[in-house]
Amino acid sequence: MTTEFDQLERCTICPRTCRTNRHEKAGALCKAGDHIKVARAALHFWEEPPISGEKGSGAIFFSHCALKCVYCQNKEISTGGFGLEISPERLYEIFFELKEQGAHNINLVSPSHYFALIAPVIKRAKADGLNLPVIYNGSGYERVETLKDLEGLIDIWLTDYKYSSNQLAQKLSRARDYPQVALEALKEMDRQNTLRGSDQYDGAGMMKQGIIVRHLILPEHVDQSKKVLQIIYDNFGTRLKLSLMSQYTPTEVNTRFAPELGRAITKDEYEEVLDFADDLELDYFWQEGEACKESFIPSFDTTGVLNC
C-alpha cells in the first residue's frame, strides 16, 4: 500500500490527479488538506434497507468532495467545507463508539479524498476486533489505482453512477470524464467483490458484503438515466443491486445552473425509468411516495465528532 506521505505530497488520489502538496495547501478542487475533517458521526436511518436496518448505519460524513454537483444535498459540507479536523486516532475511536451504539456497519460517506489517512485506520480497527462491515459510500468518481489500494479493507461499495452523458457531467458536476471514470471504478469494485464471494447477507437481511449502485433521476433527463441502466446491464448483466432514487429536490441555486432542475421529477418520469429497469430485469430498490418532500439530510452539527 502506498504511504500516507507519498499520497498527500503530490496528490493523485482522485481522477483529477491535481498533484497538490496537501501538506502545504488544500487540494486544488476538493479543498481538502492533510487532516481528516468530519461534519457528523452518528447512527443514520435513511440508507437502503439492508444498510440502515432497524438500528441504523454508523455514518461518518467527511467534509469536502472532488465533485462539484450543483444539486448536492450535502452542499454545506461538500463545497462549504463545514466540519472539524480530527486525528486518525480519533477516527479509530469513532469506529468503536458507533459499534457501541449498535450500528449495523461503519459507513464512510464521501471518503475518497481522505483515503491515505483513512485506510490505515480501517486496517488497524479490523485487526483490533472491529467486526462490522465497512462501507465506502462515494460518488462513483474514483481512481482505479486508489480503489486497488483499498482491496481487502472495504466490505460494501455504496456507489453512485450519476451520468451517461459527458456534457451533462461537466455541466452539473464539473467532471466531463465522469461516465468513463465511474464505469472503470465500478468494474474494479465488482472485481474485488467477486473475488470475495460476491454479495452476502446475514439472517436478518442486512448486507455484510457487496455492491449497491445508486442513481438519482433528474428532471428532464430520463433518457440519460435509461442509458445509465443500459451501461450497467451491458457491462454487468443483472448481478448488481441498484438503488433508483426519486429524491431530487429543486432549489434556486440548482435552477440558475440548469433551468430544467427547477422542479422535482414527476411520477411518470420515475415510472418510465423503473419500467426500463424492469425490461432489463435489473434488481433494484425504489423510493415510494414523494421522496423529494422527505428529509434524507441529517443535521451537520458535528455530532459524534469530538470526544467530549
Supply the mean pLDDT for the chain. 94
Q: Give percent above pLDDT 70 in the chain.
A: 95
- Alpha-helical runs (H) found in 79-219: 88-100, 115-127, 144-149, 166-173, 178-195
Asked whether the beta carbons of 242 and 212 are under 8 A apart, the reply is yes
Distance CA 22, CA 9 (A): 6
Q: Which residue has the higher pLDDT, 251 or 74?
A: 74
d(CA 157, CA 198): 11
pLDDT of residue 5: 44
Furthest CA-CA distance within the chain? 53
Which whole-number Å values give the CA distances from 40 to 37, 225, 279, in the listed order? 10, 31, 40
Percent of residues, the chain, with pLDDT higher than 90: 89
Q: Which amino acid is at 131?
A: N
User: What pLDDT score was predicted for residue 295?
Assistant: 54
At position 74, the amino acid (one-letter code) is N
Question: What value does the mean pLDDT take over residues 265-286?
Answer: 98
Give residue-wise pLDDT tens across range 105-161: 999 999 999 999 999 999 999 999 999 999 999 999 999 999 999 999 999 999 999
CATH class of 4-293: alpha beta
**Which residues touch 158 (CB under 8 Å, ≥6 apart)?**
47, 48, 51, 107, 135, 136, 137, 138, 212, 214
pLDDT at res. 167:
97
Residue ranges of the domains in the chain? 4-293
pLDDT, tens digit (0-9, with 9 covering 90-100), for 197-248: 999 999 999 999 999 999 999 999 999 999 999 999 999 999 999 999 999 9
What residues have CB less than 8 Å from 119, skipping those under 6 apart?
1, 149, 150, 153
Query: What is the pTM for the complete model shown?
Result: 0.95
Note the pLDDT of residue 4: 47
From residue 285, give the alpha-carbon distance in Å to each of 14, 90, 115, 157, 246. 28, 34, 28, 15, 11
How far apart are the C-alpha atoms of 49 and 30, rounded to whole Å? 30
pLDDT of residue 308: 58
Over range 281-305, report the average pLDDT: 82
Q: CA 196 to CA 155: how far, in whole Å?
A: 9
Three cell numbers, residue 41 = 458521526
Exposure string over 27-59, b if 16+ CB within 10 A, otherwise e: bebbbbbbebbbbbbbbbeebbebbbbeebbbb
pLDDT tens profile 32-46: 999 999 999 999 999
